[in-house]
Each structure stands twice: as C-alpha cells, then as structure tokens.
Amino acid sequence: MALSRRGLMAAAAATPFLMRVEDALAQGIQPKRGGTLNTIVNPEPPVLHVGVNNQAPTLIVGGKIFQGLLRYSAKLEPMPELAKRWEVSPDGLEYTFHLQENVRFHDGKPMTAEDVVFSIMKFHMELSPRARGVFARIKEGVAVDPQTVKFTLSAPFEPFLLMFDVTVSAIVPKHLFEGQDYRQAPAVQKPVGTGPFRFAEWQRGNFIRLERFDGYWKPNQPYLDAIIYRVIPDSQSRRLALETGQVILTQSNDIEPFDVPQMRAQPNLEVQTAGWEYFGPLMWVELNHRVKPLDDVRVRRALAHAVNRDFIAQRLWFGIGKPATGPVASTTRFHEPGAKMPAYDVEAAKKLLDEAGLKPNGQGVRFAIKHMSLPYGEVFTRLAEFLRQSLRQVGVDLQLESVDVGTWAQRTANWDFDTTINYLYQYGDPTLGVERSYVSTNIKKILFSNVSGYANPKVDELFTEARDAADPKQRQASFSAVQKILVEDVPLVWLMEMAFPTIHDRKLHNVITSGAGVHASFDDVFLA
C-alpha cells in the first residue's frame, strides 16, 4: 500500500517512536507492561559478559544484563545510572559517587560500594587494556560507606567521567569473582548483573533469551517481559525476518546499508541513526607505513585525494553516516573543524605521485599494493571494489585479498598487510579513543593499536599535553594542533563517520534515548 508524504507524516505523528517515558506520558501514551521483544544479534557473541568481551554483539546484549555508574546523553553529558549523583573536588582529584538505593544483583545479593571498588580497581584493571590506562591514574578507591564510593586520582584527568558507561566499566558482583580467574569464573558463562533483564537461556546458533528481573531497582520497570535475540547469520534472512515481523528490531550491522532504503519505505518501520554519539565510530583505510611507498607522505596524500568520500557515504552507505574530515569525529569532544584532510582531487593526486617519482609504466600503473578486505558484510566488499577503481584512475594497482574475520584480526594485529579497512570507537574524547591509533608508544602487535607504525614526536607530545591538562581550553588547544598535523601527515585515509541503522516497528517505544543507543538497558522500552 502506497502512502503519501503527508500520510507517512501523519502515521509517524500517530505513533511516536523516540521519546522518554515522561514524554510519552505527556502525549497521553501510557507505557504498557508486558510483551516479548524479538530482535537479532549478529554475529553471535562468544560470551555475554561485557567485562570479559568487548565485541559489539556482547555489548548490545550485555547492556541489558549489566549497568555502569553513569550513562550519557547524545551531547555526552553524564547522567545517573547506578550512581544517583556525584561530586568532583575543586582540584579535580576526588570523585565521589553516591549509589542508588535498593540495587540488587540477579542472584539477590545487594550491590554495594564494595562491588563498585572491586569492579573498577581490580576486575576492569585486569581485563581491559584501555580502561587500565585510565584507572591506573586512580591513587585510591575506597568504599566510604555501603552507598558511597570515592576515587582519588594521582593527577587531574579531565575525561574521567566518560569512563563509567556499561560498555566500558560495568559493575560486577565481587562475591562471584573475587579469588577466581576472572575470565574462567562460572559467572562469565551465566552472567549476573544489576540490569533490568536477567540471563535465562542460550541455545547457541539459535537464540539468547533474557527475562525481566523482578527485583530491579527502578519501581515498576522494566516494562517488557523478555527480550529474545535471534541468531540469523544470513543478511537477506535478517531482512526478511524484519519485513515479516518475526523480529521487530534490528541494529548495528544487522541490515546491509543498501537494504535500508527499502526499510525506510515500510510504513510500519522507523529507521534511526542516532545513538552512536558516545562511540563516534570512524572508518579509515589503514596504511602500513613499513610498506613502500606508503612511508612517503606525498603518496599518502595522493591516496586521500583519489578517494571520493561523498560517494562512499551516499552511494555505498546510503547516507548512513557522513564523510570524514579528519581523525576526530564531529560528534567527539574537541573535534577541530579547521583541520580538514585532502579533498577529492584526481589531478592533485597524480601530481603528488609524479613528485614522488612514481611515473606510470606502459600500462599506466605507477605501483601495486595489496588490500585486505574487511570481512564484515557485502558492503565492505563493495567498498574494496570502489577503492580499487578509485586508485586505478591515478595509476595505483590495488590488489584485493579476501579473508575471514579471524584471519583479518590476526594479520592486522601482526602488521601483515599493505592496506585494509578498520573502524574504531572514540568514546567521546580523543584521549580515550583516538590517541591510541597515532602515538608511537602504542605501536604494538595488538589489534586496535597503532598498527600502521606511524610516528611523529610532535604528535606524541601534543597527545600527552592534552591527556594531562586539567583545563578543557588547554586540551582543546593541544587537540586542535595535533589534528592539524595529522591531516597534513595523513597517516591513515579517513573515510566516514559511521552511524549504524536501528530499525524497529513503530509499536516499539523508547529504543534510542541516549548517546549509547541500543547498548542501553532498555528498562523503559515498551510495546504499545
């Protein structure tokens, strides 16, 4: 059935899809208790414990089981979660968190300040390399009383409050982990958190079922009885499940970007790209500087000139995301608008390659490099083909390699590539999610580190200044300066600020209510 634009707008107005519970009440929509949310998880996670595994599927499902002290708005403002309020001392060294009352873990044990101190000072310090670097700045973490926690830093660290989302530092039960191997403890396979939903059943290769936790600390919540995450490996089967109503919510990479326009045309479905502000995922072409001629800045700039980022965002991703301008996403704090990477300009690319002494041979080829495609779906295969065509027009022969996910991760971590595609989360602050890709101290054979091998002492110095400065204005000055250097050096070819589609039936309310989107607890999601 075709609807006019006016009809679609009227339908949308009649069934609001993005609101807080208080907004729904103001519009006369009473949240209803009951019902099961059928959705998808893709790919199937290895475990559901967000402290042990940080892959996206684990974080999405685990975000309903666990909670952090804070959550964040789309503007990255901290909001209460397990901490109802907090204070920061004038010198920026002491952070005091006052906990919610009557919070219990799914096994019935009360959550106290001792669990918070254990989670931050021991559990995540051991399991999370990224969190460890920040929490190592904590000189002392103490339970002042059962409902109060105080962390004292060794030096001021301005982005400290951005570290308490469930995806970064979930609060775990001390009594189920203390004295055990954290990765092998029974509570890893049967996770126990404070979230609105408790782990119920997992039939591997089929589904994961979460049930309402009746002892949840928010009165009368959650509204849903259960959430079932169905494992559907094939992309077209996932699309069919959404179209036929077998599932009423998809997220992240569930639906290929080229299928999204058809989903937008469905009158009962809503497509949203909000809810990724906290993560700020940025995609780029990873360049191995150990491989000639990629060590030449003129060549890297030429590659950047040769790629039409607008085409990638609009024609391959169908507007889900926007062209990158540099190393810091526009949704991330301290983004510098004045730092812009080389614009699409084929002739400028050819000129730079000529200056680098890379003249075309009789077949028009200047040099050949390999490209290991990112094995995350068909759209990345199409991206690899587009990059090959783009570089061919400036005389670069991009030779494509296809690998599976495990091989891609292993080879990238071991520097065994010429070029590939990667994307990383920025976590709201360049110190937390950007610095790691560019400082020379992080050139390691570890995935999501500085695997390109880029090194610039001034860049190291500026990132250190920004990390250690207590004044946001000083941090902005250092971050602006480092971004301007990076867009000149082009250590990577930044392609797109990513935003993944969240698609859901309009009868499902409050799906996206924060900067963490579908990773949130869903305690206020309801079916109407």
pLDDT tens digits along 455-476: 999 999 999 999 999 899 999 9
pLDDT at 24: 57
Average of pLDDT values for 115-133? Answer: 91
For the chain, the helix, strand and coil percentages under 3-state DSSP, each to the nearest 5: 35, 20, 45
pLDDT at 43: 84
pLDDT at 28: 58
CA-to-CA distance for 246 and 511, rounded, in angstroms? Answer: 18
CA-to-CA distance for 247 and 271, rounded, in angstroms? Answer: 14
Reported as a single tens digit per residue, the pLDDT across 316-335 is 999 999 999 999 999 899 99
pLDDT greater than 60 at residue 527:
yes
pLDDT at 490: 98
The string over 143-159, giving b where at least 16 C-beta atoms fall within 10 Å of a residue's C-beta and e elsewhere, is beeebbbbbebeebbbb
CA-to-CA distance for 524 and 528, rounded, in angstroms? Answer: 12
Q: Read out DSSP for 9-53?
A: HHHHHHS--S--HHHHHHTT-------EEEEEESS--S-S-TTT-
pLDDT at 451: 96
Percentage of residues of the chain with pLDDT beyond 90? 86
pLDDT greater than 90 at residue 129:
no
- Give me the domains of the chain, ranges plus CATH numbers: 5-50+195-273+501-527 (3.40.190.10), 67-177 (3.90.76.10), 282-498 (3.10.105.10)
pLDDT greater than 90 at residue 10:
no
pLDDT at 21: 55
Phi then psi for 457, rounded to 5 degrees? -55, -35
Average of pLDDT values for 80-100? Answer: 97
pLDDT at 8: 28
Reported as a single tens digit per residue, the pLDDT across 198-254 is 999 999 999 999 999 999 999 999 999 999 999 998 999 999 999 999 999 999 989
pLDDT at 11: 30
The string over 325-339, giving b where at least 16 C-beta atoms fall within 10 Å of a residue's C-beta and e elsewhere, is bbbbbebbbbbbeeb
Q: Residue 110: which of 141, 71, 68, 146 has the closest Cα?
A: 146
| Token reading at 432 | 């937390």
Reported as a single tens digit per residue, the pLDDT across 282-329 is 999 999 999 999 999 999 999 999 999 999 999 999 999 999 999 999
pLDDT band at 446 (very low <50, low <70, confident <90, very high): confident
CA-to-CA distance for 346 and 211, rounded, in angstroms? Answer: 56
pLDDT at 23: 59
Q: Give just the sign of the alpha carbon dihedral 288, 292, 294, 297.
A: positive
pLDDT greater than 70 at residue 352:
yes
Percentage of residues of the chain with pLDDT beyond 70? 95
pLDDT band at 12 (very low <50, low <70, confident <90, very high): very low
| Token reading at 367 | 């040099």
